[in-house]
Amino acid sequence: MNAMKRLMWVSVIVMVFASVFAIGVVVGVQAQDNRNRLDPLPSGAPYQPNTTELSLNQLYEQAIQSVVNISVVKANAFGEGSGFVIDTDGHIVTNNHVAEGAQYIEVTFADGTIREASVVGRDPDSDLAVIKIDPSGLTLYPVTLGDSDQVFVGQQVLAIGNPFGQSFTLTTGIVSALDRSLTAESNFSIPEVIQTDAAINPGNSGGPLLDMSGNVIGVNTAINTESGSSSGVSFSVPSNTVRRVVPYLIQYGSYEHTWLGITGNTLRPEQIEAMNLPADTKGVLVGDLQRGGPAAEAGIRGSSNEIRTSLGRLSISGDVITAINGTPIASMSDLVSFLDTTQPGDVVTVTIIRDGATQNVEITLEARP
């Protein structure tokens, strides 16, 4: 009997507690319902974008259909980059340093489509690479490549990429300089590089630099920075290099650059004076020769003497290259740029100054070792 009474009391207590809790919930809900509903703060009049903004947005919406984010798995490392579609077969251009050593590559389109990719070809000397996806079931939008020889300082440009993993980011700026030279991982120079102040950061590598018509005029490849982020000095491989190199990467998997087999420097006033040359002489002074290289085989002479200057020791007495096939060569940049348009086996006529006299030498170009 006592057990029955205790059970009844427990039941009564539970019921009372449940009733009180239910009343509390109802009261709480009613208290919330009794609060006045407040209007949000007012907004201003609808924003009216100007024509420049509308144009940028239109260019962006058009361009991102061709741009991809690239995720790369390498040995003990994971990397990200960018790229862009160049044909309907699924070929995508990016940087060599993005694709090099890749064990697995995945590309993501702006609509969220993800496809696995494989490396088709790489060229470390121009920092370009081509990867490929299976285009089945996809509508691809290849870019239009512009003529980078027509680019000018002050020209407005756009960059689209994946900086710090922030997908399909647009930055804008201008072309701040032309004919820059970058040293590739192979230690050879990449000529005619475009400099821009458009923000380029890690993850932008391989993405397009576009003009205001939406044409690709460069491939974003490097920044000049001590912090690892954009400092307003960024570099892009010119589109004409892309146009020349990429067909070989697709067809053969590599590209053969030519060389003369020399070291040299742009002729300086101190060297001109020491060699008794006319003050307005321009050209490249040959320093060392690669034994068995094209220049050495053709009889080009390197420098054998030095002078001391305020800048240190400078070579003198070597041949001075002033033209190739009639095209003036005023600097090392001119020389590398010219060679970049040639193929192994081409025979070129090199105009030199030797011992104060001008002469022509025929040289058969070879592929870089």
- Do residues 239 and 259 touch, judged by C-beta distance below 8 A? no
Please give the chain's pLDDT, 369 residues, in tens.
444 444 343 343 334 334 434 444 444 444 446 789 999 999 999 999 999 999 999 999 999 999 999 999 998 889 999 999 999 999 999 999 999 999 999 999 999 999 999 999 999 999 999 999 999 999 999 999 999 999 999 999 999 998 888 889 999 999 999 999 888 888 888 999 999 999 888 889 999 999 999 999 999 998 765 555 556 689 999 999 999 999 999 999 999 999 999 999 999 999 999 899 999 999 999 999 999 999 999 999 999 888 888 778 888 889 999 999 999 999 999 999 999 999 999 999 999 999 889 999 999 999 998
| Catalytic residue list contains 340 | no
The residue among 241, 163, 249 whose CA lies nearest residue 201 is 163
- Do residues 58 and 64 touch, judged by C-beta distance below 8 A? no
What pLDDT does 290 receive?
A: 92
| Catalytic residue list contains 39 | no
- Do residues 82 and 204 touch, judged by C-beta distance below 8 A? yes
Report the DSSP beta bridge partners of residue 71: 80, 106
Rounded to whole angstroms, the Cα distance separating 204 from 164 reads 8
17 phi and psi, to 5 degrees?
Answer: -60, -40
Rounded to whole angstroms, the Cα distance separating 70 from 98 reads 8
Other CB atoms within 10 Å distance of the CB of residue 254: 14
What pLDDT does 226 receive?
A: 54
- Do residues 241 and 231 touch, judged by C-beta distance below 8 A? no
What pLDDT does 327 receive?
A: 95
DSSP string of 278-321, one letter each residue: -TT---EEEEEE-TTSHHHHHT-----EEEEETTEEEEESS-EE
* Polymer length of the chain: 369
What pLDDT does 231 receive?
A: 60
User: Any idea of the CA torsion for 207, 208, 214, 218, to the nearest 10 degrees?
Assistant: 180
Rounded to whole angstroms, the Cα distance separating 49 from 354 reads 64
- Do residues 343 and 307 touch, judged by C-beta distance below 8 A? no
What pLDDT does 369 receive?
A: 86
Q: In this structure, what DSSP letter does residue 163 have?
A: G
* Residue from 66, 82, 97, 234 carrying the catalytic annotation: 97
Indicate yes or no: pTM above 0.85.
no
Enclosing H/E stretch for 327: strand 327-328
Burial of residue 101, with CB atoms counted within 10 A of its CB: 0-12 exposed, 13-18 middle, 19 or more buried: middle
Q: Assign 3-state DSSP to the chain and report helix, strand, coil percentages, each to 5.
A: 25, 35, 40
All domains of the chain in start order, with CATH? 51-133 (2.40.10.10), 148-244 (2.40.10.10), 258-367 (2.30.42.10)
| Catalytic residue list contains 89 | no
* Residue from 82, 148, 205, 234 carrying the catalytic annotation: 205
What pLDDT does 165 receive?
A: 85
> End-to-end CA distance of the chain, in Å?
105
Enclosing H/E stretch for 27: helix 2-33
* Residue from 123, 125, 127, 340 carrying the catalytic annotation: 127
109 phi and psi, to 5 degrees?
Answer: -90, 165
